[in-house]
Chain A
Amino acid sequence: NAGVMQNPRHLVRRRGQEARLRCSPMKGHSHVYWYRQLPEEGLKFMVYLQKENIIDESGMPKERFSAEFPKEGPSILRIQQVVRGDSAAYFCASSPSIGQGGNTGELFFGEGSRLTVL
């Protein structure tokens, strides 16, 4: 059973370009979470999605960042007009459907996408 798949693992962009990070959750999981990790910092929550719905985006910057989880295909985290401060590791995690509300169990993380902005 494949785990959470993230790609690309490494992405280099110049300032002003767009970055698109993809995440395929574990089979059977319909909850997806995106976290950002800066060097020497903890994981910071960005957004929580279920299929076709954004459930909680309280950690997303108001501008330039967007996320989606379409009915078919992977979840996408998009960063427009990247700046140097966007350089970080972006982790996706998934969890299974557990009824109403959010997650009360473990998160399964991918290996991350490391974005470098030149």
Chain B
Amino acid sequence: SQKIEQNSEALNIQEGKTATLTCNYTNYSPAYLQWYRQDPGRGPVFLLLIRENEKEKRKERLKVTFDTTLKQSLFHITASQPADSATYLCALDPSGNTPLVFGKGTRLSVIA
């Protein structure tokens, strides 16, 4: 069956350290993968998109990698800050031109 899994429900990290979140998928062949941030009581906000032919994408303190062989994406936040505390969702397009499928999310807490 098709699955998209974010391995950690919750991740606690010390301020200043790098947070690494994992997204794995099975039985999908996505053309791209996206990451979103969701704060409590709010809607998700788009952060980054990475295509299947891209190994890595960066935006300020954020970095995303995409390994289509491992069927995995890693999401890194460097020099993490308490304001980075939120739930991070990965999402993929199952087969091109179809609505996004989301993982359950990882709740990140950055402790000062």
Q: Hey, which chain A residues are within 8 Å of B99, CB to CB?
A: 33, 45, 48, 56, 59, 102-103
Interface residues of B, count at CB 8 A = 24
Q: Say how far B6's CB is from chain A's closest CB, in angstroms.
A: 8
What 0/1 pattern do residues 67 to 81 of B give for CB contact below 8 A with A? 000000000000000
- The CA-CA distance from A40 to B31 in the complex, in Å, is 27
What 0/1 pattern do residues 73 to 96 of A give for CB contact below 8 A with B? 000000000000000000101000
CB atoms of A43 and B89 under 8 A apart? yes
CB atoms of B100 and A110 under 8 A apart? no
Interface residues of A, count at CB 8 A = 26
Ordered by A's residue number, 23 sampled pairs between the chains whose C-beta atoms are within 8 Å are A4-B43, A33-B99, A42-B89, A42-B102, A43-B91, A43-B102, A45-B99, A45-B100, A91-B43, A102-B96, A102-B99, A103-B93, A103-B99, A104-B96, A106-B34, A106-B46, A106-B49, A107-B46, A109-B43, A109-B45, A111-B42, A112-B41, A112-B43
